Structure 1
């Protein structure tokens, strides 16, 4: 699991983004994590600003490799805004699934993960049994903002000295684009044959803009979603109550009994 991390409270961050006056920039994450861990250097940060205590000598996440064996890594970006570039020093990875979809295996030295994106890769431990190397995940400097966006985790082979941190060199990769890997690279292993003319096409125009009060919100087709936590949509639907469909702020689309729907 890779994730950007903020030391400030979530509600304070959200309020700063949507409240007035409008912020000059989006909030910068303070750290980046692999499996929930990554040391943070407080030397350049004011701890009292975040009302947090400092724990010295925090640990890295640790993984074990055995020479000659192949490992399957399931990668997930569970962060809030940081696009991640995942690498393992000096190693190639074979991508076998993209967002739960099996793909024709393709080799790469960096895996790009957008928010909530997932990928399964195979890695063969070709190093020496005493090796120690870094696993890394970087918040893309082009596509997101972070004051410390470089996460590391230690990989130790079976005979490595676990008391010493790895000294391997980072992989050089291309950080010149924001978006998915080209679709012709991740070809589905079991291609589907969707109809060329779907029964229904829905176009969703998504934007982050100001409402009538000047506060900035997310809009889909010029409408913001408003949840009613006392009457959630799925519970209403399960009970046969479709009254929610009449409320624009519930953002529902009726596609009837159509066999296929294209969403743009």
Structure 2
């Protein structure tokens, strides 16, 4: 679906000619306003909390110094704009060294090369303390990038070094595609499997009980109750290779870990290239470019059941998820939280007497 607007701190103006009939709309609703202190450095914590769009963040007349991705500190580097896929967070430093009498546009520009939107630019106002001007100057050219990906891995170096294990315990390769299922609906598949959650049979409770007889994968392209679980057993280092054969970019997110990004690029991975093996980028979300590859590696030191999924809401809804079962023997020795057991038992009782209209994959 197309988004209606692009907001910064919940605010932006809107072209009311695009509003639905009989709806309330104000052309000049409001813009967020940020005050900079002349000569000082300001830390901005940027978060893309949208549902689908990749955005480029910039401030007219100012450069940024990128210092962290997803709470992982980086060796600082200069940037004119920052790319944020859905769910990604980036910390930047901005020095207030421009003309203090002027005002400037802060922008969140949606990339139409990998997103669809009716309003492509979210704007806010930046002014300096002491300035009497409260409205920004006429709009200049918006920051643009036609690449639906994050900054080059060679630029994004963690501040605290951590080398990549050249010999992981296991390497798993997954192919991502978009198919049509037996009912005529589009679904995302990973190795020809589409995730579909069964709320009455949670994977985590099965793992606690040491029941690993998860449903057999259904026919390719269907959504017949497949939790899409991969059991990594006692493996301590896991490398995941994601190859997409479809024309969409994906912000990939792994729960429970900060992974190392070993490689990304066009086409399938060559099986050899690792960028900065002595200290690869670490974060918990990274963009996978269209028709491209993304190679992740993580320490399997957090016993549990963790989702690896695309963070675009519609893609997750269409089954774009795999579930990683990690250290199941250690997991079984932990205590099931009471609130989880209580919630699941309550759901079981309710669903026996009510029709559950599960319209999507369930995550």
Same fold (TM over 0.5): yes
Q: After superposition, what is the alpha-carbon deviation per residue over 1:223-264, rounded to whole angstroms, capped at 9, x for unaligned?
A: 111112344333544xx2243651241111111111200011
Q: Report the counterpart of residue 126 of structure 1 in structure 2.
A: 97
Q: What is the distance in 1 between the residues matched to 2:91 and 2:213?
A: 38
- Counting only pairs closer than 5 Å after superposition, residues 14-93 of structure 1 correspond to structure 2 as 27-43=1-17, 45-48=18-21, 52-55=23-26, 57-93=28-64
How far has the Cα of 1:106 moved from its partner? 0.5
Q: How large is the RMSD of aligned CA atoms in angstroms?
A: 2.1
1:257 aligns with 2:234: yes
Match of 2:75 in 1: 104
- Deviation, 1:74, is 0.9
Q: CA shift at 1:124, angstroms? A: 0.8
State the Cα distance separating 1:212 from its structure 2 match: 1.8
Aligned partner of 2:174 in structure 1 is 204
Query: Offset of 1:168 from its aligned partner?
Result: 5.8
Aligned to 1:146: 117
The answer for the alignment partner of 1:14 in structure 2 is none
Alpha-carbon distance between aligned partners in 2 of 1:260 and 1:28, rounded to the nearest angstrom = 40
Deviation at 1:171, TM superposition (A): 5.7
Deviation at 1:104, TM superposition (A): 1.2
Cα gap change, 1:97 to 1:172, in 2 (>3 Å): same
TM-score (norm 2): 0.59
User: Aligned pair in 2 of structure 1 residues 47, 198: CA closer, same or farther (>3 Å)?
Assistant: same
Q: Name the CA shift for 1:68/1:171 in 2 (closer, same or farther; >3 Å).
A: farther
Quote the Cα distance in structure 1 between the aligned partners of 2:27 and 2:148.
Answer: 35
CA contact (8 A) 1:90 1:170 kept: no
State TM-score, norm by structure 1.
0.80
Contact 2:107 2:142 (8 Å CA) reproduced: no
**How much does 1:56 deviate?**
5.0
List alignment gaps of at least 5 residues for structure 1.
1-26
Partner SS for 2:11: coil
Contact 1:89 1:171 in 2 (8 A): no
Gaps of 5+ in 2: 218-225, 242-363
- The alpha carbon displacement at 1:33 in A equals 0.9
